[in-house]
Amino acid sequence: MLWLIAAFILTVLLFWFGLKQPQYLQKSLTIITQYQLFFTVSRWLFIIAGFACWPHLIRRLSRHRHWQEEKTLLWLKQRFRVFIWLALFELIVCENIFLHLLRILEGRV
């Protein structure tokens, strides 16, 4: 719940900042656009690192939170599902793969 409140507050602050100081927001968007490859590679590395560290993280959580063995095994089995969803989200939302496919099919590469 705390993360949801923090995300809401951050969203409201960014929206307010965009209304009050649009030139700085435009500068920020320009910087993000210039380093798009860096951000893309960073996101993919984060996903791969999370996939690699998943068993260690789950075992550590199970020790510290005193999980039962069944719960630990359940979360260990969720590894592929979680990271397939993250990869799909990255491809569909961040990389906009559907738009790229439409452009390729239309011949406007």
Statement to judge: residues 59 and 96 lie in one domain: yes
Q: Same structural domain for residues 86 and 42?
A: yes
Task: Quote the CA–CA distance of 96 and 100 in Å, as a whole number.
Answer: 7
> Can you give the pLDDT at residue 56?
96
| Alpha-carbon distance values, 7 to 2, 4, 11, 12, 50 (Å) | 9, 5, 6, 9, 22
Note whether 39 and 84 are same-domain residues: yes
pLDDT for 108 equals 65
Residue 46's domain spans which residues? 35-109
Tell me how far apart the alpha carbons of residues 96 and 109 are, in angstroms, rounded to a whole number. Answer: 14
Residue 59 is predicted with a pLDDT of 95
**Quick one: 17 and 27 in the same domain?**
yes
CB 74 within 8 Å of CB 65: no
Residues 61 and 90 in one domain: yes
Write down the pLDDT at residue 84. 95
Are 59 and 101 in the same domain? yes
**Same domain as 56, residue 97:** yes
Q: Are residues 21 and 43 in the same domain?
A: no
Same domain, 20 and 51: no
Task: Give how many domains the chain has, as a whole number.
Answer: 2
* Successive 10-residue mean pLDDT values, the chain, 109 residues: 86 83 80 88 94 95 94 94 93 83 78
Per-residue pLDDT reduced to its tens digit, 12-33: 888 887 788 888 778 877 888 8
Q: Is the pTM of this model over 0.75?
A: no
